[in-house]
Structure 1
Amino acid sequence: MGADTRIEEPAFSGMAERHRRELHVHCYRMLGSFEDAEDTVQETFLRAWRKRDTFQGRSTFRAWLYRIATNACLDFLAKHRPEPATGGEAVWLQPYPDRLLDELPAGDADEPESMAVARETIELAYLVAVQHLAPRPRAVLILRDVLGWPAKEVAELLGDSVNSVNSALQRARAGMREHLPAERQDWTGGEDDSGTRELVRRFTEASVTTDITAITTMLRDDVRFSMPPLPGLYVGRDAVVNNWIEDGFESMTGLRTVLTSANRQPAVAAYHWREREGVYLPLTIDVLRISGGAITEVTIFHADRFPSLGLPERLPADGTE
């Protein structure tokens, strides 16, 4: 496309829409919030439309959109989150539905390492760790290590030198090591094997029957628990049992569950029986990280996340949907 070529609205819309999902995932990695990412993608398209005459074709249209999206995320963070997350938690964290991740273009997905990178960098443990980085090192990390951009292109986007970008990348990687579990296999718990499925089944059954003993035996010694947007991160089996399972869980009867997935992790959506309405209504979503046959992290999200995950708004009493 030459420098004097104008992109008319129908063509622009079609070109931009082809990249909506991957831009949304990019903004989600930057921001950790599904809803904030949606808003930022809309802002990206608005900025791109206004600047469409500046697209000179020196890079691909896709790379041009990524530049605009990254800057839109940096502007959002400067305005709404001037300080990164602390203490191992991000209260603004929201889950990302696997059904929408399946819309991502295949790219180099046939390469096992590419699939591993894509999976690891969308899991909640990675997202929380990223939120602890300052915005610009965060952008450098995602552009370099996730998207594979050369340092020169990242430097041009951020208006920095290549040396500055390389230095920021080193700091970002060091920061990630501080907030990710020590061993890679400890936080990439997405293996879809029979052992994982069986553990999820037992967890679901124990949750419905409020079997505290059974759930406790499934938790690893260093299990982590959080419930964004509520503050608080609990680490260790005793802390998790005392602050989650025994704090009101035992009396929680009348539950039904639906298995789902988010961030390439197994998840259990719980519905609570409401006598007056005569139906089961959304309660919580438990997203699990499983490693070595044990639950290593439980992140619970509130009922307002059900629509984005495509879950039913209610379950009837007779068990049909």
Structure 2
Amino acid sequence: MSVVVEQTTDQDFARLADPYRRELYAHCYRMLGSVHDAEDLVQETYLRAWKAYDGFEGRSSLRTWLHRIATTACLTALERRRRRPLPTGLGGPAADPSAELADGPEVPWLEPVPDSLVGADDPGSVVAARTGVRLALVAALQYLQPRQRAVLVLRDVLRLSAAEVADILETSVPAVNSLLQRARAQLSRNAPVEEEIVEPAEAKAILARYVAAFETYDVSAITAVFTEDAVFEMPPFRTWVQGAAHIAELISVHCPASAAGDMVLVPVEANGQAGFGLYMRDGEGVHRAFGLKVLDLAPGGVRHTAMFFDTSLFRRFGLPEHL
């Protein structure tokens, strides 16, 4: 009889808790800035919740209870981890794009996240879910103290009440409001540039130009597809450049491609933004995983490109190691 009861309890837990998995993954990603760490913390959250489920008394909603466990796990993890920046958060742009690239292997860099892992199950919440993980926003969150980060995400992104957040953090509502006020003030100093609306047809045309420019390795076309003040950054390199001409010079000097066909771009969706898996042709003529790009568009062109050279990300985006 006890085995049947345990199986029923496990089934109830899975049925009730599984719908929150992607929301919890997105929460852990916002807190930690890493897809690898977010995966570990979600697993830890569900393990803790499963073990404690018999004692769940329903004084709060299951969603709030799960977020309490996830937030506690994230705050504990952040005690042992440094914030995850992008190169633009560590200094100014390079004055000479042709100079040797500055490496930063010791930096725990921010990582992009596939939309498929953080999208909401409710179609009406998809846009909000993707907006909440845009690369610039998650990068800005890294400047907040862990508890400030937790309060801001829980209140402003997940829209939980101050009372629910106080329950999650085991503090008072006035303390939550104070943390939120300080977090918003800090975020405003590091906030991403206000997004400009790009109509779908124009976005499609910009992305087509971007693919054509790189796959034909046409430096003049590469220059033209970026906005005048565009930014190009490349973790794990600290070096980043600003301006379409500087981006084109950086690529022409440092990119191993030399002719049309050397590069192939495969579309991905990351952080609620357009992106590409970039494959580079090697000496044997095989296109191998080279880097993952996340783009931010503006009317007229690409405003920002983050190029991640961590090819282990390809597997998480469902991309092969070679074409």
Q: 2:72 and 2:116 mapped to 1: Cα distance? A: 27
Q: Residue 249 of structure 1: CA displacement? A: 2.3
1:218 positional shift: 2.2
Secondary structure of 2:233's partner?
Answer: strand
Write the letter of the residue equivalent to 2:170.
G
The match for 1:166 is 177
1:247 corresponds to which residue? 253
Q: Which of 132, 143, 157 is residue 143 of structure 2 equivalent to? A: 132
The aligned residue for residue 236 of structure 2 is 229
What secondary structure does 2:302 align onto? strand
164, 175, 184: which is aligned to 1:153?
164
Distance 1:85 1:100, change over 3 A: closer
Give TM-score, length-normalised by structure 1: 0.83
State the distance in 2 between where 1:198 and 1:148 align. 35
> Could you tell me how far apart the structure 2 residues matched to 1:220 and 1:20 are?
38
3-state DSSP of counterpart to 2:113? coil
Q: Secondary structure at the match of 1:19?
A: helix
> Secondary structure of 2:58's partner?
coil
Match of 1:99 among 116, 126, 132: 116
Alignment of 1:1-321 (within 5 A): 8-81=9-82, 85=85, 88=89, 91-102=108-119, 104-106=120-122, 109-110=123-124, 116-182=127-193, 184-186=194-196, 191=198, 193-242=200-249, 244-249=250-255, 251-253=257-259, 254-276=262-284, 278-302=285-309, 303-315=311-323
Could you report, residue by residue, the CA deviation over 1:34-80 in whole angstroms, capped at 9, with x for unpaired residues? 11100000111122123223311112222211110011111111112
Name the CA shift for 1:116/1:9 in 2 (closer, same or farther; >3 Å).
closer
Distance 1:280 1:192, change over 3 A: farther
Contact preservation (8 Å) 2:233, 2:240: yes
TM-score between both structures, scaled by the size of structure 2: 0.83
Instruction: Single out whichever of 218-227 and 67-76 deviates more from structure 2.
Output: 218-227
Moved more, 245-254 or 299-308: 245-254
Q: Is the 8 A contact 1:91 1:231 kept in 2?
A: no
Answer with 226-235 or 48-57: which moved more: 226-235
Secondary structure in structure 2 of the residue aligned to 1:100: helix
Aligned partners of 1:241 and 1:290: how far apart in 2?
17
Contact in 1 for aligned 2:140/2:191 (Cα 8 Å): yes
Matches of 1:252 and 1:73, distance apart in 2:
44
1:221 corresponds to which letter in structure 2?
E
2: distance between equivalents of 1:163 and 1:225?
42
Shift in Å, 1:291 = 1.2
The offset of 1:119, in angstroms, is: 3.0
- Higher RCO, 1 vs 2 (CA within 8 Å, ≥6 residues apart): 2
Q: Answer yes or no: is the 8 Å Cα contact 1:43–1:72 preserved in 2.
A: yes
Which residue identity is paired with 2:222? I
- Whole-angstrom CA distance in 2 between matches of 1:91 and 1:212: 32
Number of paired residues?
298
* Cα deviation, residue 116, structure 1: 4.7
Q: Quick check: 1:273–1:281 contact (8 Å CA) kept in 2? A: yes
Query: Residue 104 of structure 2 aligns with which residue?
Result: none
Q: What SS does the corresponding residue of 1:222 show, helix, strand or coil?
A: strand
Q: Separation in 1 of the partners of 2:66 and 2:304?
A: 35
**Residue 143 (structure 1) shift:** 0.3
Q: Match of 1:36, as an amino acid? A: D
Whether the 8 Å CA contact 1:224–1:296 is kept in 2: the answer is yes
Q: Deviations over 1:150-197 (max 9, x none)?
A: 112212222322222112112212222222234x324xx6x5611111
Specify the code of the residue in structure 2 equivalent to 1:77. L
- Deviation at residue 233 of structure 1 after TM alignment: 4.1
Out of 249-258 and 302-311, give the one that drifted further.
249-258
Distance 1:287 1:252 in 2: 23
Read off the aligned partner of 1:105 and give its amino acid letter: D
Contact in 2 for aligned 1:271/1:281 (Cα 8 Å): yes
Q: Deviations over 1:4-58 (max 9, x none)?
A: x987333323433332222111111111111110000011112212322331111
- Structure 1 residues 202, 162: CA separation in 2 closer, same or farther (over 3 Å shift)? same
Is there any run of 5+ residues in structure 1 with no aligned partner, and where?
316-321
